[in-house]
Amino acid sequence: MKQHLLPKQVLEVTKEQFYSLFPDDQHSVDRLVDRKDYATFHHKKMTIGKLIKAIRIKNQLQIYTVDNLWCVQLFDSHICANDEVDCIWENNSNELVNVLWEAVKKVYEFTDKEVPHD
């Protein structure tokens, strides 16, 4: 099982979007140094645990398995997933890190990289 994102996954979002998932505090262990090759250099810092923490800042989540698939459901932050309510988003993948990354992109409303407007 993969434990972190691959560089090509990091490149699905902008550098600013990726860096926004890490605290800006100078003394934080998670602080990232700005690098041109940020995806290659920082991709291993986006672990399963970091992905879950990023989601939990904004939403509740439920993780479960069905056969060989990892499934993630997202709920509004004020909802308890055990209250038999409908989720607002769900997806699955063979790799937990992949479905968590898709959830992070959904929670933070990251879209594919856009061409900057002049």
Of the two residues 118 and 16, the one the predictor is more confident about is 16
How many domains are contained in the chain? 1
In a domain, 1, yes or no: no
- Supply the pLDDT for residue 118: 37
Q: To which H or E segment does residue 95 belong?
A: none
- Supply the pLDDT for residue 62: 95
Average of per-residue pLDDT across 90-115: 86
Largest CA distance in the chain: 48
In a domain, 114, yes or no: no
In a domain, 113, yes or no: no
Average of per-residue pLDDT across 55-76: 96
Q: Tell me the C-alpha to C-alpha distance, in Å, between residue 18 and each of 5, 9, 42, 45, 60.
A: 12, 10, 10, 11, 21
Domain that holds residue 102: 7-107
Asked if the model's pLDDT at residue 6 lies above 60, the reply is yes
In a domain, 36, yes or no: yes
Average pLDDT, the chain: 87
Average of per-residue pLDDT across 8-17: 92
In a domain, 66, yes or no: yes
Q: What is the pTM of this model?
A: 0.85
Contact of 58 with 108, CB cutoff 8 Å: yes
Asked if the model's pLDDT at residue 115 lies above 50, the reply is no
